[in-house]
């Protein structure tokens, strides 16, 4: 448990997220229309809620796979080291691939993962992130589709944690520390 007391203020409602996920699913459908198989790769753990909602909106032949990469630890600031804790189970060579990220912050995680996956020679590789914090970017990387651009706030919910808590919130909230 984090030691400092905090409250969570709602930033993006569950209803707003659902509407945006539906919009994005139409754009992804248009991009990958006609594919024989789209491998949707979620970055664990933060993307698990987003990928679950997104794939259920996609009327395409979909395979779901996961990679686990870590860049945060239990701190509020990103470290620059990206570790792959779990690799893909399936093959993506010659396949259409959609990488699903919960948030792009410094960009190190997505850049690293996209580099690894591109080395496996997919037919087409696209990326989607629910949240984007462009003001925090340290590398030249952005997702092809973004749900919401947000300021540099400490956010939780809809899969995103603070010290492994709050991933189960249905909305995106902003952490506000309330003192000692």
Q: Which residues are catalytic?
A: 105
Task: Pick between residue 29 and residue 141 the one whose CB is nearest to ligand PRP.
Answer: 141
CA 130, 135, 136, 137 dihedral sign is: positive
Shortest Å, Cβ 52 to ligand PRP: 14
Shortest Å, Cβ 10 to ligand PRP: 20
Q: Where along the sequence are the contacts to ligand PRP (CB under 6 A)? A: 43-46, 70-72, 78, 101-109, 161
Instruction: Of 175, 151, 153, 180, give the one whose Cα is nearest residue 165.
Output: 175
Work out the number of other CB atoms within 10 angstroms of the CB of residue 115: 11
CA–CA distance, 69 with 29 (Å, rounded to integer): 27
Q: Who's near 34: CB < 8 A, 6+ residues apart?
A: none
- Write the CA distances from 158 to 54, 90, 99, 138, integer angstroms: 12, 26, 17, 24
Task: Pick between residue 11 and residue 60 the one whose CB is nearest to ligand PRP.
Answer: 11
Task: Pick between residue 37 and residue 170 the one whose CB is nearest to ligand PRP.
Answer: 170
Shortest Å, Cβ 78 to ligand PRP: 4
């Amino acid at each position: 448990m984090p030691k400092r007391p905090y409250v969570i203020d709602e930033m993006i409602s569950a209803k707003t997220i659902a509407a945006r996920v539906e919009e994005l699913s139409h754009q992804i459908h248009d991009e990958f229309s006609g594919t024989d198989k789209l491998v949707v790769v979620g970055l664990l753990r933060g993307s698990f809620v987003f990928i679950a909602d997104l794939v259920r909106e996609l009327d395409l032949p979909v395979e779901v796979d996961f990679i686990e990469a870590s860049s945060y630890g239990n701190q509020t600031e990103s470290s620059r080291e990206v570790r792959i804790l779990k690799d893909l189970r399936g093959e993506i060579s010659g396949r259409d691939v959609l990488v699903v990220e919960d948030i792009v912050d410094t960009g190190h995680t997505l850049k690293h993962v996209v580099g690894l996956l591109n080395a496996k020679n997919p037919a087409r590789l696209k990326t989607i992130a629910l949240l984007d914090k462009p003001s925090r970017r340290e590398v030249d990387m952005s997702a092809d589709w973004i749900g919401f651009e947000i300021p540099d706030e400490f956010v939780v919910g809809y899969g995103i944690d603070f010290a492994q808590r709050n991933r189960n919130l249905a909305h995106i909230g902003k952490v506000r520390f309330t003192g000692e």
